[in-house]
Structure 1
Amino acid sequence: MAIPFSYCPVKISYMEEIHEDLFNVKAGEFVVVYAPIVFRTLLYDPILLGNTINVIKNLKPHILVNSEIEEQHNSPCFASRFVEGLFYSSAYFDSLEVMLPDRNDLRRTKFEEACCGKEISNMLACEGKYRRVRHVKMDMWRSFFRQSGFKEKSFSVHAWCQARFLLKQYNHGENFTIEPNGSAITLGWKGTQLHTISLWSISRKRNR
């Protein structure tokens, strides 16, 4: 594609250590922030979440891509989290059963153990700062990003067509759904919403 990319890894032990000075951003560079299921891990500490967003803003990204699970798993009530998690997890595991029917498939077992199992355990068994799995729906993220000085962007028609095309390439892809969520895109499985991806840019106020 003849696009010059550079890769400069930044290693930190804790999110508290993140700072814009760690990133070697040069003047004139086009900066894109891709955050797949990251911000929800910071909901347990609003100060840390706010600091991380401020670091991103100081990097002056042209676009921020946020991908989060589309479900409410942040209730302080265990019973509510259990019921909400049950419906979501049932749809998720049903999609795995269809897409990867071999239960001995190493890809499936690793994903179930490393991702699904640990997340469900943390969401249900932990409280306070130890409960890091705190999914909230897009409406909550939309409010948060707007208050943080970001403006939501729309996906192009080409992006929508490409997403639908990719789903059709999978067996049983017809069971997946993609639908608009404001300006965002939500992926679902047989009517249950699973993931939402949204685009954000720094809101620049016009001079009067």
Structure 2
Amino acid sequence: MVHTSADLEASMLNIRPSNVEAVAVNSVFELHRLFSTPGAIEKVLDIIKQIQPKIVTIAEQEANHNRSDFMNRINKAWLYYSTMFDVLENSESTQTNNLNLEMAEQYLGREIYNLVACEGTKRVVRHQTLGPWRVRLNSAGFNLVPLGSFTLTQLAMLLDMFSNVEEYRLISVASLL
């Protein structure tokens, strides 16, 4: 039985040779949870390499919540989550849909609780900044590939939607091959 992505084995995926089908891997806000278990992130990245995908996309929060120093972690979390709540409160789409806002607040509340109240393998909220991600992915054998200008323009437009929040910025965009 698979409980987390670290429990996967490449053979479970039943992927045919790369000349028969193209494989894409898309991970959204999931890999940072693997840092709580020693060796889990390395295992998952190795499985991804084994299945030989044509493209790998990873979306993770840009934050520094993987430190063992409690006070530093709390200060970083305060800045990060206060910005997230500001965006939610100022977003027109969530103001018109209270259910979405409530669900987002519950999700963020669970993350905050885990980050503050849990330690060791029970603390799975372990976001990292771009620098450590780049090092980790490069050492796992992935190559960063810049995205096209059309995609960058779309991302800049999306970022402009949140211009009332100064902490959001476009720092780096890349896909992995």
- What is the TM-score normalised by the length of structure 2? 0.88
CA distance change for structure 1 residues 195 and 86 in 2, over 3 Å: closer, same or farther? Answer: farther
Q: AA paired with 1:37?
A: F
Residue 45 of structure 1 aligns to which amino acid in structure 2? T
Matched residue, 2:8: 18
Q: Which is helix-richer, 1 or 2?
A: 2
Greater shift in the superposed pair: 50-59 or 23-32: 23-32
Structure 1 residues 54-96: Cα deviation after superposition (integer angstroms, max 9, x where no partner): 1110000111101111010111111111110111111111010
1:105 paired residue among 98, 102, 117:
98
Cα distance change, pair 167–78 in 1 and its aligned pair in 2 (3 A): closer
Deviation at 1:105, TM superposition (A): 0.3
What is the number of equivalent residue pairs in this alignment? 174
Question: How far off is 1:103 after superposition?
Answer: 9.0
1:127 counterpart residue number? 119
**Going by fraction, where is strand more abundant, 1 or 2?**
1
Unaligned runs of 5+ residues in structure 2 are none
How far has the Cα of 1:50 moved from its partner? 1.0
Distance in 2 between residues matched to 1:57 and 1:196, nearest whole Å: 23
Contact 1:68/1:197 (CA < 8 Å) preserved in 2? Answer: no
Which residue number in structure 1 is paired with residue 76 of structure 2? 84
In structure 2, distance between residues paired with 1:79 and 1:126: 14
- Deviation at residue 174 of structure 1 after TM alignment: 5.2
In 2: Cα distance, 1:131 partner to 1:195 partner: 27
Identity %: 26
Matched residues in 2 for 1:123 and 1:69: separation?
A: 14
Paired position in structure 2 for 1:5: none
- Normalised by the length of structure 1, the TM-score is 0.76
Task: Tell me by how many angstroms 1:104 deviates.
Answer: 7.6
- Larger C-alpha radius of gyration, 1 or 2? 1
